[in-house]
Amino acid sequence: MAQQRNMRPESMVIHGGEAPADPHGALVAPLYQTSTFVFPNAETGGQRFAGDADGYIYSRLGNPTVNLLEQRIAALEGMQAGAATATGMGAVAAATMAFLRAGDHVIASDCIYGCSFALFSHLFERFGVQVSFVDMADEAALAAAFQANTRVVFVETPANPHLRIIDLAMVGALCQQQPDVRLIVDNTFMTPLLQQPGNFGADIVVHSATKYLNGHGDVVAGLITGTREDIQLIKMTTLKDMGATISPHDAWLITRGLKTLAIRMEKHCATAAIVADFLKAQPAVEKVYYPGFKDHPGHHLIGTQMRNAGAIIAFELRSGYQAGVAFLNGLEMIKIAVSLGDAESLIQHPASMTHSPLTPEAREKAGISDGLIRLSVGLEHVDDIIHDLSQSFAKAQQI
């Protein structure tokens, strides 16, 4: 493992973590598609349950295929340990709820993925947890939001859907002044190859592995990384007892997808930079949100917090929602679909799709207009992506 810590991320996506020993010497770590594990005798079974003997028990509690993925993501994030979950929301819920009880307070960024917002604003309230949604670009507002009972600070950066960037070092420093607060960062849009929130004070990093980490649009899953103690706590409470653990087959697919993460991210990002320039030059486009632009408010953090601007672009059309509908419907190669980070370029309308769980007021506060469109730039040739966007702009103009 010490040797692995020195590996470059491009190698770690392939070799990170310890693959389970295989008697046949298979190159690819085997898929342990099993619900349960046979104990050599009754005493060992009891000892494993008591934590007095190593060894697997049951796949909700641990599985070698899952364990390899957990080690690999932990190595990539530079964290001590990892936990894999059935969905990204499973990761967000298990990671936050492990540290909360009735009477506690959460500070969340006011622009986060719709279902994270729904979990915090609707469900937490029912269990007596109070949540303040704060514009975390505003340091004074964040500093003022802390209460004696604040236990979790939750940040998504770049934010879904319009790439608002939050200064993690600033948030991390404020959290460190508070006793007993966990800073939890959703790193889905960047992946550990472009941003490692642990370097800026994040205690826990969560992912929707459905996106870039798997990268092939065929799995829904999540990942959590943190200290050994915190991950053990999550595994033994919110994961074990609420049960959003990943299937071994999905873990195996993500471990396969991860091997190409470095080259995929490079390509995604390079294509996105060209597509962002193209969109900016379109007369029909009012505004483009892309951190790679020098006038983006988070641009100065590229090179320190982030290694690249990423490959999600949001934009507003001058003529609003109706023009947006015509533009989306006119696309031929780019698919109208939620999710992101796949080989296919995907386009969607946040106000009616990913961020529909937010109230109109919450969307307005978060800066998500009805005319906003989000594009996940895929791995197709840039000429084909631009050709498709161009022909749809031309068609939409005629309406």
Residues assigned a catalytic role = 60, 113, 186, 211
239-245 contact pairs (CB < 8 A, 24+): 239/83, 239/85, 239/94, 240/60, 240/61, 242/93, 242/94, 242/97, 243/60, 244/85, 244/86, 244/87, 244/90, 244/91, 244/93, 244/94, 245/59, 245/60, 245/66, 245/84, 245/85, 245/86
Residue (64 or 371) nearer to ligand 7XF, CB: 371
- Assess contact for 34 and 63: CB atoms under 8 A: yes
Q: Is 110 in the site for ligand 7XF (CB under 6 A)?
A: no
Q: Which is nearer to ligand 7XF, 64 or 324 (CB)?
A: 324
Q: Which stretch binds ligand 7XF (CB under 6 A): 16-24, 53-61, 110-118, 262-270?
A: 110-118
When binding is defined by CB under 6 A, the residue of 225, 354, 363, 392 that contacts ligand 7XF is: 354
Residue closer to ligand 7XF by CB (options 59, 354) is: 354
Q: Which residue has the tokens 């990423």?
A: 310
Binding ligand 7XF (rule: CB under 6 A), the pick from 67, 210, 225, 305 is: 210
**Angle at 255 (CA atoms; ends 377, 203), nearest 5 degrees:** 80
Residues 156, 167, 250, 388: which binds ligand 7XF (CB under 6 A)?
Answer: 156
338 touching ligand 7XF, by CB under 6 A: yes
Q: Please work out the total of residues on this chain that contact ligand 7XF, with binding judged by CB under 6 A.
A: 19
233 membership: H or E segment, kind and range: helix 228-234
Sign (positive/negative) of CA torsion 134, 106, 98, 363?
A: negative
According to DSSP, residue 33 is labeled: -
Backbone angles phi, psi at 11, to 5 degrees: -90, -35
The region, left, alpha or beta by phi > 0 then psi within -120 to 50, assigned to residue 62 is left
The region of 3-11, 125-133, 280-288, 337-345 touching ligand 7XF under the rule CB under 6 A is: 337-345
Going by C-beta distance under 8 Å and a sequence separation of 6 or more, which residues neighbour residue 295?
none
Among 132, 188, 214, 305, the residue binding ligand 7XF under the rule CB under 6 A is 188
195 binds ligand 7XF (CB under 6 A): no
Is residue 71 involved in binding ligand 7XF (CB under 6 A)? no
- 375 is a contact residue toward ligand 7XF (CB under 6 A): no
Q: Which is nearer to ligand 7XF, 214 or 308 (CB)?
A: 214
Nearer to ligand 7XF, 175 or 206 (CB): 206
Is the CB of residue 18 less than 8 Å from the CB of residue 71? yes
Cβ 176 to ligand 7XF, closest distance in Å?
A: 24
Q: Is 186 in the site for ligand 7XF (CB under 6 A)?
A: yes
Residue nearest to ligand 7XF (CB): 88
Closer Cβ to ligand 7XF, 19 or 152, answer by number: 152
Neighbours of 286 (CB within 10 A): 14
Q: Does 94 bind ligand 7XF (CB under 6 A)?
A: no
* Chain centroid to CA 79: 16
**Interface residue list for ligand 7XF (CB under 6 A):** 87-89, 92, 113, 115-116, 156, 160, 186, 188, 208, 210, 220, 222, 338-340, 354
